[in-house]
Structure 1
Amino acid sequence: MASIAFILLCHKDPAAIIEQAERLTAVGDYMSIHFDARAKPEHYKRIREALANNPRVTFARRRIKCGWGEWSLVQATLHAIEAAVDAFPRATHFYMLSGDCMAVKSAEFAHDYLNRSDVDYVESFDFFESDWIKTGIKEERLIYRHYFNERGRKWLFYQSLEWQRRLGLERKIPEDLQIQIGSQWWCLRRRTVEAILEFTRARKDVMRFFRTTWIPDETFFQTLVRHLVPGPEIRSRTLTFLMFTDYGMPVTFYNDHYDLLLSQDFLFARKISPEAQQLKRRLGQLYAAKGVNFQISNEGRSLFKFLTNRGRIGRRFGLRFWEAENSLGRERELMIVICKKWHVAKRLLDRIRQVTNLPAIEYLFHEEDTKLPDLGGIQRSLGKRTRHRRALMRMLFDYYNTDRMIICLDPNSLELIKDFAGDRSVTKLLEVECQFTEEYLIGHAKRVGLAGETTSKDTLERLLPTIRNDIAFETDRIRDEGLEHFYRIRQSDSAEQNAGPLSQFLSLPRETARDIAAMEHLFVD
């Protein structure tokens, strides 16, 4: 049966630390605490006194002053691990935590989860091949020695780098190590932790190397676990749920995030707001609960990205230089069907092909597998198609030897629509306005990763109005542009009513357009 020794690094809020230690140990787990030596002595004294009679809590024998990005964080972790290994011989797993973390599952669930697989949980990606580092220095973290903290002594930090570059003071990485990188929030088995401690005593060269690397808490344990443990026994993931904003800052969770946190495929979450007292209380009660059935939908990150990106809709990006002077051709006519329900637009295009023989291509800027002719490679990926959109369309006009063509676009493609409408060619737009049932919106949320099969009804009820408004917002943006040659057919209108705008869009007799609009099952989901 799994038994967890939590490794807690902290530096503030003694009341919260005491509460966290009592909560996690009350169900039979353990905790080893390293309290930053920079913190107030009276805070440390308060923690020691409050937990003195708790046999399931121990403290690092040596406290050190910790600094972000420094080796001191790793050293403090090692001190806490050593104390835990000695004090808790029955602990089977060692779980790294901070004072901002809280459990989002019950202890019963966490223990069962760890019992299922005899593996270590640690993010570990190849340092040089992965794109884990998004900004800032990369290989310089390793090949140069870092004696100054970038946050506190920025000038010295970068001046030291420059001096080492000029003097050619690059150093070699230990030859038998393949450096890995990942989140510092890991959960390791006892034999892995003991192997790491033995390695630190035997390999002084590796310890010297990591002591002067930058942000070693993202590389030290990640590298050593891969070095000491067979690959099949490692899960390259963290069991702590955390998200980051576009600015690289951790997302903070508040009282109204309770249901969201419980539905994620993680055991803990970071970071919980100090002001979120209701959330802390509910999560604290949850850890000791028995028989709780958790519905895992795991939509947290995709939902956060979706909601935050809504504020950026409509941002205009400049044209690529190869597009600025390109035109589809003054005599050509591009007809664009705009529809959120792709299956409806595809049925409409299929019927138009049958009646008119016009070249009609479905969502070529949205679906990778849209059938396209070989155009020399420009058609191979969505990225290439979008970057070279005017060149692609010119080539398609030439391939089909036509001056009239129809394509489909999703309503979220305002930039594409505006770009084509700004061309010297004639651009016509047909919006297909559909009705959206609650069942359809739920299916849409699942298809795009905003919800899962087990997402709670309460979460969906809060999410659906946002999705519905988002769809309406996309179409409103297009209408607000006041583009010429804009037509609309509606699911709520009759075939006779839709025949008029369809006739103008396709430049067909009204009778022919009525025949197209009257097709059976056009709007069926």
Structure 2
Amino acid sequence: MARIAYILLTHKDPEGIIAQAERLTAAGDYVSIHFDANANQRDFDQIRETLASNASVVFAKRRVKCGWGEWSLVEASLLAVRAAVEAFPKATHFYMLSGDCMPIKSAEYAHDFLDRDDVDYIESVDFFNSDWIKTGIREERLIFRHYFNERSQKAWFYRSMDWQRKLGLTRKVPADIQMQIGSQWWCLRRRTIEQLLQFCDRRRDVMRFFRTTWIPDETFFQTLVRHLVPEHEIRCRTLTFLMFTDYGMPVTFYNDHYDLLLSQDYIFARKISPQAKDLKARLGKLYTTRNVRFQISNEGRSLFKFLTGRGRIGRRFAPRFWERESTLGRERQLMMVTCKKWHVAKRLVDRVRQVTNMPAIEYLFNEDSTPLPDLGGIQTTLEKRTRHRRALVRMLFDYWQTDKLVLCIDPANVDLMQDFYNDKATVRLLEIDCDFTDDYLIGHARRVGLAGDRTPQETIDRLLPTIRYDVKFESDRIRDAGFKDMHRIRQSASVDENTLPLAEFLDIPVEKAREIAGTEYLFVD
């Protein structure tokens, strides 16, 4: 059975470190602690004294002063790893943790998971050909020697790079290694760790290189594991669940995230808020509990993106249109149909085509697969269609040699609607107001990745009001925009009640509008 030696890098919260160590060792695992030499000596003394009688806890033989982005973080990791290898010969795996991490599965689950496959878990992708680095310097991390910290010595950090660049003091990556990058939260097998330590002792040139790279904790272990271990024995992922905001800051978890964390396909999570006492207590108890069944749905990241993407007032992620195409034509009529249930809008425009022979297009700004004629390439991608929206619609008028055109548009695209309303053409809008059952909204959440087949009911219950409000928000936003010539039909209304709005919207006789409104399957889910 797997036995894990946790490599715990810490710098604060002695009570939390003690609790973490006691919790992890109570389940039969081990802990090796490095406590930052920058931290309070009294805190370190408290940790050592309290854990002195715990034979499953060991401390790094030397403490180093750690700085973000510096070699010192890797050095601290290696010191703790060496202490664990020496002290715990029965440890089969070595798992990197920080003081902000907490288990989100039981020890029983973690051991079974690691026993399942004889592999290492480390995120490790090509440094130069991947897009792992989102902002900041890239190859400069490697080709220059970094002696200053960008956070605490910003001016000297960039001045040093400028001098090296001017003097031609760039360097190359050691010839026999392929530089990799990834998350610093890994879980490696014992033989991998032993190979890695032997490599460190043997290859002083590689060690010298990494000592002056920038943010080596994202490249050192990731590169050496790829160098030493066959690819089929590596799973390119971390077992620690973490997310980042659009500002590049780690997402912090609080008391109400318990159910969400348990449903993710990970063993640990970071960062847990220091104030989340209830969450820490529940997760701590969970680790030593046996016979717990976990429903893995793994929707955490998509759910976070959906919820934060709602934005503050003004919906900060809404598209903005800076370009303005030329007019569609004063004599032309553009009729936009908006509905959150796309299949209902598609049925409506299909019936419009059948009954009136009027050209009608489905969600051309929302679906790549919308059938369109060849217009010289402008229709090939959603990005092109949206960027040149007026030119595209004008070409569709010309293609069908018509002055009337119907198109579908998602309710979220209010700015797009407004842009067409600013045109000199006659523009009308029809909103289809549908009923949304809980089952439909749950299905919608699964279709867009906000939930999975195994998402706990508690998570779904919390998510449903947000999705329902989001649908209502889009409808309210359309109404608040004050569009002229706006019409509405409702699923709850009778055929007679929907006939007149349809006739006015399409500018067709009432008899034809009634034929369309009376379509039996129009609102069927």
Q: Let me know the Cα RMSD of the aligned residues.
A: 1.3
Match of 1:94, SS state, is: strand
| Rounded Cα–Cα distance in structure 1 between residues aligned with 2:377 and 2:5 | 55
The farther-off stretch of 191-200 and 92-101 is 191-200
CA distance in 2, matches of 1:427, 1:227: 62
Deviations along 1:164-219, whole A, 9 cap, x unmatched?
Answer: 12222211111222211111111111111111111111211111111111101011
Distance 1:204 1:68 in 2: 23
Q: How does 1:132-281 map to 2 (within 5 A)?
A: 132-281=132-281
Aligned length, in residue pairs: 523
Partner in structure 2 of residue 33 of structure 1: 33
| TM-score under structure 1 length normalisation | 0.97
**Alpha-carbon offset, residue 425 of structure 1:** 1.7
The offset of 1:330, in angstroms, is 2.3
Q: One-letter code of the match for 2:170?
A: E
**Cα deviation, residue 314, structure 1:** 4.1
Structure 2 counterpart of 1:338? 338
Other-structure match for 2:321: 319
For 2:4, the equivalent position in structure 1 comes to 4
Q: 1:224 Cα deviation (Å)?
A: 1.1
Tell whether the 8 Å contact from 1:3 to 1:29 is kept in structure 2 after alignment: yes
CA distance in 2 between counterparts of 1:237 and 1:291 reads 26
Per the alignment, residue 376 of structure 1 pairs with 376
Question: How far apart, in 1, do the equivalents of 2:93 and 2:192 lie?
Answer: 9
How far off its partner does 1:260 sit? 0.9
* Corresponding position of 1:419: 419
Q: CA deviation at 1:150?
A: 0.7
Most deviating of 296-305 and 17-26? 296-305
Comparing 507-516 with 301-310, greater Cα deviation is found at 301-310
CA displacement at 1:446 relative to structure 2: 0.9
Corresponding residue for residue 455 of structure 2 = 455
Asked whether the 8 Å contact 1:23–1:284 carries over to 2, the reply is: yes
2:440 pairs with 1:436:
no
| TM-score in terms of structure 2 length | 0.97
Give runs of aligned pairs for residues 345-424 of structure 1, distance below 5 A: 345-424=345-424
Mean Cα displacement is larger for which, 196-205 or 385-394?
A: 385-394
> Is the CA contact 2:127–2:181 (under 8 Å) kept in the aligned structure 1?
yes
Amino acid across the alignment from 2:22: E
The correspondence of residues 21-60 of structure 1 with structure 2, limited to 5 A, is 21-60=21-60
User: Could you list the per-position Cα deviations for residues 334-381 of structure 1 after superposition, in whole angstroms to 9, with x for gaps in the alignment?
Assistant: 111100001111111111111111111111111111112222222222
- Which residue does the alignment assign to 2:485? 485
CA shift digits 1:364-400 (9 cap, x unpaired): 1111111122222222222222222222222222222
How many angstroms does 1:317 deviate by? Answer: 5.5
Question: Could you tell me whether the CA contact under 8 Å between 2:320 and 2:415 is conserved in 1?
Answer: no
Distance 2:145 2:330 in 1: 61
Supply the distance in 1 between the matched residues of 2:58 and 2:41 (Cα, whole angstroms): 18
Of residues 375-384 and 467-476 in structure 1, the stretch that sits farther from structure 2 once superposed is 375-384
User: How far off is 1:403 after superposition?
Assistant: 2.1
Cα distance in 2, alignment partners of residues 476 and 367 from structure 1: 24
Percent of residue pairs bearing the same amino acid type: 69
Q: Give 1:460 shift.
A: 1.4
Q: 2:65 maps to which residue?
A: 65
Aligned counterpart, 1:289: 289
SS of 2:429 mapped into structure 1: strand
CA contact (8 A) 1:265 1:296 kept: yes
Cα pair distance change 1:337/1:317, threshold 3 Å:
closer
**Counterpart of 1:212 in structure 2: which amino acid?**
T
| Counterpart residue number, 2:476 | 476
* In structure 1, C-alpha distance between the alignment counterparts of 2:291 and 2:123, rounded to whole Å: 30
- Deviation readout 1:131-183 (Å, 9 max, x if unpaired): 11111111111111110001111110111111112222211111222211111
Check 1:484–1:314 CA distance in 2 against 1; reply closer, same or farther (3 A cut).
farther
Distance 1:325 1:445 in 2: 35
Query: In structure 2, the residue corresponding to 1:310 is in which secondary structure?
Result: coil
Letter in 1 for 2:367: E
Match of 1:20 in 2: 20
Q: Which amino acid aligns with 2:496?
A: E
